[in-house]
Amino acid sequence: MERTWTRRWRLALAVLWCISAEGADARGLLGVAAAAATPGAEGSSDDAVNSAIAYGLLTAEKDFQYLVSLLDSADSWAGCGGALIRPRLAITAAHCVKKANGKISDVKAVYIGIRNWETDMPSQYEYRKVTKIVVHGQYNPDTLANDIALLVLNRPAKTKPVLLPPPTYKLIPADVYEDGDWLFVAGFGSTEQGDTSRLLYAEVPFISRAYCNEIYIDEFESDPVPTTHICAGYADDSQDSCEGDSGGPLVKRTKNGDVLVGVVSYGPGGGSCGGDMNLGAYTSVTAMRRWLLSIIASLKL
């Protein structure tokens, strides 16, 4: 059956997932991904799942101010993003902070609200040290189930955090209903013209689990998407791109502000970047809500 939603190229945007031909496991997950001292520069880091934004648009200054960029011990970009959910708490993907060998990575600080790594002055964003990293106890690095982690900051940020979804929050799949939900994702991923140091965003349709699993299983001979995840993206006509921010926010725009519904986790494999059927898998914040609130309570944040 033809799905008309796949032709609705709102602003001609797509979230794309770059999978390396070398080091990819049976699920098509990337074992070694590109990262850099700053976005747009050359370099490499281990144990990251690679994702990117292609044909993205530059963000307005008021948008995505809660987006955080993870920094290593040298205050260089750690190749991942996240979102501020409390003045002293940021959310990211577990695979961004926990290596395949089980050790915690050297994420030591974050930038909050940086928009251009080449031109922004320190007065335009916030810098906070990371004092504690909490990884979901049931995180599975093989399937990426429960791919979520929290970063405790040394002092409160002045930036307004992104909203968390209420307990009964539900999204309407765009592949089933004409008026389905469209979501926004942002990051410093590569573009169709190469690397970028500027924050970009893309608008993507929310996709039903049934259709997402159909794509992952039938098209890519991959495992089903974990129940801890949701899917978003385009089913065809996608553009090619590599390298970007895992751990970044997937949000639903509302009159009360952006609601965080997902955390960038992974995409389908296949030995090359881009191509058709690039439906991204995001850790569901609604599915993780009970865990999130329990950690927030235990940390007294």
Active site residue: 45, 238, 246, 284, which one? 246
Band of pLDDT at residue 9, cut at 50, 70 and 90 = very low
Whole-prediction pTM? 0.81
Phi (first) and psi of residue 95, to 5 degrees: -70, -10
Quick check: 205 pLDDT over 50? yes
- Cβ-contact 203, 183 below 8 angstroms: yes
Return the minimum-mean-pLDDT range out of 247-251, 274-278, 286-290: 274-278
- The predicted structure's pLDDT at residue 162: 98
DSSP code for 161: P
229 is catalytic: no
**Percent of the chain scored above 70 by pLDDT?**
71
Active site residue: 69, 95, 190, 265, which one? 95
For residues 15 and 163, the model is more confident at 163
Give pLDDT tens digits for 57-115: 556 667 899 999 999 999 998 989 999 999 999 999 999 999 888 899 889 999 999 98
147 is catalytic: yes
Give pLDDT tens digits for 124-153: 999 999 999 999 999 999 999 999 999 999
- The predicted structure's pLDDT at residue 125: 93
Instruction: With residue 109 as reference, give the H or E element that holds it.
Output: strand 109-112
Active site residue: 20, 45, 136, 147, which one? 147
C-alpha span between 228 and 172 (Å, rounded): 17
The C-alpha angle with vertex 129 and arms to 162 and 82, in degrees rounded to 5, equals: 35
95 is catalytic: yes
C-alpha span between 131 and 107 (Å, rounded): 10
- The predicted structure's pLDDT at residue 200: 85
Instruction: With residue 94 as reference, give the H or E element that holds it.
Output: helix 94-97
Average pLDDT, the chain: 78
Return the closest-CA partner of residue 182 out of 283, 253, 285, 276: 253
Instruction: Kindly report the CATH number assigned to the domain that includes residue 20.
Output: 2.40.10.10
- The predicted structure's pLDDT at residue 203: 86
- The residues that bridge with 126 in the sheet, in sequence order, are 112
- The residues that bridge with 52 in the sheet, in sequence order, are 16
C-alpha span between 299 and 301 (Å, rounded): 5
- The predicted structure's pLDDT at residue 23: 28
For residues 7 and 116, the model is more confident at 116
- The predicted structure's pLDDT at residue 202: 84
- The predicted structure's pLDDT at residue 216: 87
Q: Roughly how many angstroms between the first and final C-alpha of the chain, as a whole number?
A: 48
C-alpha span between 187 and 170 (Å, rounded): 24
Domain interval for residue 156: 4-299
Span 199-220, average pLDDT: 88
- The predicted structure's pLDDT at residue 236: 59
Span 251-267, average pLDDT: 94
The C-alpha angle with vertex 219 and arms to 213 and 220, in degrees rounded to 5, equals: 85
Band of pLDDT at residue 29, cut at 50, 70 and 90 = very low
User: How many domains does the chain divide into?
Assistant: 1
CA torsion through residues 68, 151, 51, 281, sign: negative
- The predicted structure's pLDDT at residue 43: 41
C-alpha span between 235 and 277 (Å, rounded): 4
For residues 231 and 33, the model is more confident at 231
Band of pLDDT at residue 25, cut at 50, 70 and 90 = very low
Return the closest-CA partner of residue 226 out of 165, 286, 283: 283
